[in-house]
Structures are given as structure tokens and as C-alpha cells.
Amino acid sequence: MKQEQGFSTSVPLGGSSRRLGVLTVGLGAVATTFVAGVELIRRHGKHPVGSLSQLGALESATGERVRIADAVSLAPLDGLVFGAWDVLAGNAHERARQVNVLSREDIDSVAEPLSAIQPMPGVFLPEHMPTLEANRVKSAKSKRDLVDALREDIRAFRRSNALDDVVAVYCASTEFEVEPSPSHRSYEAFLQGLEKGDPSITASMMYACACIEERVGFANGAPNSAVAIPALRERARELGVPISGSDFKTGQTMMKTAIAPALQQRALGVNGWFSTNILGNRDGHVLDQPAAFRAKERSKAGVLESILEDRGEGLYADLFHKVRIEYYPPRGDAKEGWDNIDLFGWLGYPMQIKINFLCRDSILAAPIVLDLALFTDVAARAGWGGVQEWLGFYFKAPETEEGTRALHDLFAQRRKLDRSLARLALI
């Protein structure tokens, strides 16, 4: 199936009947919009806008453009089987109605498959998420037993749906930040920490651990530590399981990492960048807590430093970057993001750019979940274990292997993604 200079059309390894299980941790706004969206696409021919795996193309050295879906052996949409964990009651149909992202008409037109998705009770640690009133929670003697219970869920999901493979995407709420601790340093220490109930081990780390042990590739869409600790990276590398994170790059940050490179390319100076958001969904409510906001702030704020780095030219030395998120219930999922950029040009004369992005959070996030699921699966089949830096395109705070700096420039990230997809196309 190889061609000398370009790409060939490939067939999904294992044939088009391959069944890929996609588990989401959390069945809220993002996860239900993703699942309902895939059902609407495959049953009613809706358009998968925003998904590179469905609509994107790779360009060969000779300028030939080939759809990613034709070049890389991705699992077919028809073969996707969905499952989820959540700590709130309600099947995917009920939850999709509650979160109120898609229209009633769209949701009800896929009521049958959505009603069949009943989330498995989740692992919940209220100390890391005190605003959430969880009502479907696993209980066990130790954190180690809870991880074992998650592993058993994965095995049952795989067995009962006769799946070839399973991947997981973390779409649950943002946890409070935890300080690095000795239990995070090595996998052996992590296992001891689970046994002792170390409070620095969060639920997202426990999901990630269960997935890695079950050889389930894991992508983290929240600004949680999850797979960002050395212990789990070590284990993922050892077992050849692809992991990635963190925090989906959707609206404001996506724009920021597209505009900043343009200013930098034109050698224009920037001395201020103020970003603020209003949003009224549950995510906004959770982020209203200072400790959860800090995790989000860190991941949103880190992106400019590497793009607008002053190398002595005096263009970015005084850059002041501030990010705010305000919980404002009337808006629901229809977020509004404002950016004010104070820049300067020839002879230091000042200018401003104002951006007002009226976006829909989960509409932007859902295709990212799909791409991450399909690309993580193909990476797993190629034997690419450990941190998948090439998936950094999808994240606000891209995970990297130790000693490597994260890339934030959206176009540089896309080039890196394409190079990896081109390698996968030849496998």
C-alpha cells in the first residue's frame, strides 16, 4: 500500500468491520455532544465539521492532497461503540437534554442509541471537586481496589461488545490542583500511594492508571494532572500505551495560538494580552472555584510564552498576559471570549486588536474527542507507547516527554501532527 512520493488509500487494519470501543470519563456537555454527534453523522448524514480525521487532508512532497481518512487506517465511524463513566445519574439521552447543547430535535432523532448508554458509576474524590454533588460513585476499601474496579469495567465493556480495541478520553470535570508528591515519581511509588490512600492521587490519575494497565490509550481533555505524572508516563512507555493531554484547545486558546504566530512572523511587538470569558455551563460552575480555576489558568496562560519569546529584539520583553474566566449562568454552553491585544509597530507606535469570539464550547470540543479517539487508536496499533507529543495540536497544555519543550504555535503543531500521520500512513 505504499507509494514512493505520496500517500495511498489504506483500508482499516483488521478490515472495515473493526469495532473500537470509546470510553469517556464523564458524560456531560462535551461527551454527550461527541457521542450524539457521531450518531447524527452515521445515522442521519450530518456533517463532521471540525474533525480532521473526517475532513482533513495531508499534503505530500509533490503537492498531492489525500484525505487523512483515506491515507491512515482509522477505525470506521460505523465501528465505534460508546461507553462512559459518570458520577451523576442519567443515560446519554437524558444527559444530552440536560446539558442543552444540541437541539431537542437533533437529540431526539438519536434517542435510541443514546438511551442505551448508561454510564458506569465513577470514582469520585470530593476533596478534589467539592462543588459536584456526585450520586453514582464506586466504593471500595482502598484506592487500589477502586482502580481494580475500573479495570474490571473496561474488561466487561470490551467483552460484552466484542471489541477489537478500546481507547479512553477524559471529558470529566476539572479537579483541584494537587502538588507534586513522592507517589507521582515512579510507578512503584504510585502503587504504594494507591494502597495507602495518598491524597495527592486524584480520580483522573486512577482512571488513567486503570486504562494504561488495560492497554487502553488515554487522552486527557481537562487541565488535570492525570497522565502528566512521571509514574504513569513510565508505565505507559513500559506497556506501549499511547497517552496525551492536557485540556482540549478549543476556542479562545485556539485563536490565540493562531494569531500570536502571525504577529511574531511579522516582527510586531506585543506588550499586553488580556483574555476573559463568560460561560454558564457546569464546567464554568466548577471553574468558579479558585483551586479549579488555577489549573485552567495555568494551562490557558502558558501558551504565549513559547510563541512570543523575546530573544533580545525587544518585542515581547514586557508582555503582560492575563486570563480570566467568569461563571455567568445565562450563557450556558454558548461561551463568549474577549481578547484585547496591545501591540506595537514601526518605531514603537501602539495599536490594538479586539477579538470577540461567540463560540460554543462543546461544539468545538466534540470533534477533538473524535480525532483523539481515532488517532490514539491508530498510534496504539502502531506500537507508539508513552506521551504522544504529535497530538499536542489538540491541547492547551501539550504533554511532552521530559526535557522537551511544548510546542504551542497552532501551525507548527499541525505540521507535527501531519508528519506523524504521514508516518502512520506508511505503516
Ligand X SMILES: NC(=O)c1ccc[n+]([C@@H]2O[C@H](COP(=O)([O-])OP(=O)(O)OC[C@H]3O[C@@H](n4cnc5c(N)ncnc54)[C@H](O)[C@@H]3O)[C@@H](O)[C@H]2O)c1
Residues that bind ligand X (CB under 6 A): 25-31, 85-88, 99, 122-124, 129, 132, 171-174, 203, 221-222, 247-248, 250, 281-283, 361-362, 364-365
The residue among 205 and 417 lying less far from ligand X, judged by its C-beta, is 205
- Number of C-beta neighbours around residue 130 at 10 A: 13
CB of 284 to ligand X, least distance (A): 8
CB of 66 to ligand X, least distance (A): 29
The residue among 158 and 249 lying less far from ligand X, judged by its C-beta, is 249
β partners of residue 170: 25, 220
The residue among 247 and 371 lying less far from ligand X, judged by its C-beta, is 247
The residue among 18 and 396 lying less far from ligand X, judged by its C-beta, is 396
CB of 17 to ligand X, least distance (A): 31
279 phi and psi, to 5 degrees? -150, 150
CB of 254 to ligand X, least distance (A): 10
The residue among 68 and 123 lying less far from ligand X, judged by its C-beta, is 123
Listed in sequence order, the residues at least 6 apart from 162 whose beta carbon sits closer than 8 Å to its beta carbon are: 19
Q: Which is nearest to 228 in space by CA: 177, 172, 189, 193?
A: 177
d(CA 314, CA 108) in angstroms, rounded, equals 56
The residue among 221 and 392 lying less far from ligand X, judged by its C-beta, is 221
Q: Which is nearest to 329 in space by CA: 100, 150, 60?
A: 100
CB of 138 to ligand X, least distance (A): 9
Residue 164: all three cell numbers together? 477489537
Length of the chain equals 427
Listed in sequence order, the residues at least 6 apart from 410 whose beta carbon sits closer than 8 Å to its beta carbon are: 254, 257, 258, 261, 393
The residue among 132 and 406 lying less far from ligand X, judged by its C-beta, is 132
CB of 377 to ligand X, least distance (A): 20
CB of 1 to ligand X, least distance (A): 36
The residue among 174 and 420 lying less far from ligand X, judged by its C-beta, is 174
Residue nearest to ligand X (CB): 28
The residue among 221 and 242 lying less far from ligand X, judged by its C-beta, is 221
CB of 260 to ligand X, least distance (A): 19
d(CA 415, CA 65) in angstroms, rounded, equals 14
Q: Which helix (H) or strand (E) holds 297?
A: helix 290-301
Pairing of strands 65-67, 57-59: antiparallel
Q: Which is nearest to 375 in space by CA: 165, 233, 212?
A: 165
3-state secondary structure 93-149: HHHHHHHCCCCHHHHHHCHHHHHCCCCEEECCCHHHCCCCCCCCECCCCCHHHHHHH
User: Residue 94 has what DSSP assignment?
Assistant: H
CB of 177 to ligand X, least distance (A): 13
d(CA 390, CA 418) in angstroms, rounded, equals 8
d(CA 163, CA 159) in angstroms, rounded, equals 7
